[in-house]
Amino acid sequence: MRALLFLILAIAVASCGGDQSKPSAPATPAAPAQSTAPAAAKPRIVFLGDSLTAGLGLAPDKSYPSLIGKRLKDRGLDYDVINAGVSGDTTAGGLRRLDWSLDGDVRLLVVALGGNDGLRGLSIEDMKKNLSAILDRAKARGIPVILAGMEAPPNFGDEYTKAFRAVYTDLAKKYSVTLIPFLLQGVAGDASLNQADGIHPNVRGAELVADIVWAELEPALRRPKDQHP
């Protein structure tokens, strides 16, 4: 089932993924508008990812970052949620737009990149370097990070799959950041939780992804910076 899922996914990414040789200009969300009057800036939670984060195929308020934003509001936690997800993006693309994404008072960064690197069989060494650079910059600014792992398609071989998975565990240990081993745990491969493409979560699937992320995000927000892993 997983092999079939990733074969379908690889075909879809090849047909809809953008040209990653050039920096991607995020279409969502729009850059903050300039204001002539100073306003009290809210602390931000930034979700840096690809189409899974952007919520491809879903209404904007049904993406998992938006669902988490609603939970924050319901619990009286006053944060701006920034969805910096761009469809087709790789770790290189995420790194290129990191500085823009980290604009403002960022209190937490969720990094959910790598799926497109794996689908295209890109260099695992380069992927690790890109993610390391993202984590280095976040660390330099004292921003806690939640790193969400992905799985590589099995068609590139067992060695590639294992090395791909190890990138996330190795980096989580090196940088002492919170790790979600697999962003789509329990969702990938389940037709009832995905859209017709068999790739992107449907409304119910996005809710389950939000549950997975929330389980790590909510306690992270309540934890003082010096007590983060």
Residue 26 lies in a domain: no
Query: How many CB atoms are closer than 10 A to CB 123?
Result: 11
The active-site residue out of 51, 63, 66, 87 is: 51
> Known catalytic residue: 176?
no
Residues 93-114 pLDDT 10s: 999 999 999 999 999 999 999 9
Helix, strand, or coil (residue 146): strand
**According to the model, what pLDDT value does residue 29 have?**
42
> Known catalytic residue: 200?
yes
Q: Is the pLDDT score of 171 beyond 70?
A: yes
Residue 108 lies in a domain: yes
DSSP-assigned letters across all residues of 40-66: PPPPEEEEEESHHHHTTTS-GGGSHHH
Residue 202 lies in a domain: yes
Q: Is the pLDDT score of 20 beyond 70?
A: no
Q: What is the mean pLDDT of residues 142-160?
A: 95
- The count of structural domains within the chain is 1
Helix, strand, or coil (residue 205): helix
Residues 47-76 pLDDT 10s: 999 999 999 999 999 999 999 999 999 999
Residue 135 lies in a domain: yes
Residue 37 lies in a domain: no
We report the CATH number of the domain holding residue 203 as: 3.40.50.1110
**According to the model, what pLDDT value does residue 15 have?**
37
**According to the model, what pLDDT value does residue 227 have?**
52
Measured CA to CA, the distance from residue 202 to residue 220 in angstroms comes to 27
Residue 28 lies in a domain: no
Q: What is the mean pLDDT of residues 2-24?
A: 41
> Known catalytic residue: 228?
no
Q: Is the pLDDT score of 229 beyond 70?
A: no
Residue 174 lies in a domain: yes
Q: What percentage of the chain has pLDDT greater than the value 70?
A: 80
* Domain range enclosing 142: 2-14+43-227
Instruction: Give 139 or 222, the one with higher predicted confidence.
Output: 139
**According to the model, what pLDDT value does residue 223 have?**
74
The active-site residue out of 61, 103, 105, 197 is: 197
Residue 30 lies in a domain: no
Q: What percentage of the chain has pLDDT greater than the value 90?
A: 77
- Tell me whether residue 89 is exposed, middle or buried, using C-beta atoms within 10 angstroms of its C-beta: 0 to 12, 13 to 18, 19 or more: buried
Residues in the chain, total: 229
Q: Is the pLDDT score of 137 beyond 80?
A: yes
